[in-house]
């Protein structure tokens, strides 16, 4: 126990010494950078007195109206440019399946999920097929089927990757 206390005390002393050393290096850096700035500015003024230094340069004042004008011009230019979306053909809308087709597809997916539960596993090809079947369902049924599949996989009833 005494060894641990002495090691802890030594560690604390070394950390304090390291902190002081870092602080002294930081102070030296501040002193060097403070001394270098006036010399650099003076050398710049002597080399080209007509040039503006960063100390005396001012940003041009821009009014709110000028900024609004620039924004309007940019927005007008953006609206005038042809978009790349027009070059890609639009996806045709899928025809909505009838309620009987939806019921049949849902029951087939439920049978598949039950089969995978009984086997305890699903491989990548079967998962891809099942996901493509689920993707063809309307939104509400798709959510329900994905929820059932996800719950079965989370519970460990089906071993596989989505």
pLDDT score of 9: 93
User: Which of 132, 144, 161 is closest to 106 using CA atoms?
Assistant: 144
- List Cβ neighbours of 160 (8 Å cut-off, separation of 6 or more): 116, 121, 122, 123, 124, 126, 127, 153
Adjacent-strand bridge partners of 159? 121
What does the pLDDT profile of the chain (162 residues) look like in tens digits? 889 999 999 999 999 999 999 988 888 888 777 766 666 556 655 655 555 555 555 666 778 888 888 888 888 888 776 665 555 555 666 677 888 999 999 999 999 999 999 999 999 999 999 999 999 999 999 999 999 999 999 999 988 877
pLDDT score of 83: 61
**Locate tokens 């850096």: which residue?**
29
pLDDT score of 117: 93
Report in angstroms the alpha-carbon separations of 77 from 72, 73, 80, 82: 9, 6, 5, 10
Q: Which tokens in the block code for residue 107?
A: 């029951």
Q: Where are the domains of the chain?
A: 1-47, 99-154
């Amino acid at each position: 126990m005494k060894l641990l206390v002495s090691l802890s005390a030594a560690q604390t002393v070394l950390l304090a010494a390291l902190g002081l050393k870092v602080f002294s290096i930081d102070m030296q850096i501040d002193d060097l950078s403070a001394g270098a700035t006036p010399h650099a500015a003076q050398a710049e003024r002597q080399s080209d007195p007509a040039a503006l230094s960063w100390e005396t340069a001012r940003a041009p004042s821009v009014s709110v109206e000028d900024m609004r004008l620039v924004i309007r011009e940019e927005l007008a230019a953006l609206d005038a440019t042809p978009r790349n979306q027009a070059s890609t053909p639009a996806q045709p809308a899928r025809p909505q399946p009838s309620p009987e087709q939806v019921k049949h597809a849902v029951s087939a997916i439920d049978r598949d999920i039950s089969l995978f539960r009984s086997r305890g596993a699903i491989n990548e090809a079967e998962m891809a097929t099942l996901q493509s079947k689920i993707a063809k369902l309307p939104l509400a049924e798709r959510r329900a089927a994905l929820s059932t599949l996800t719950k079965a996989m989370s519970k460990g009833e089906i071993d596989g990757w989505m």
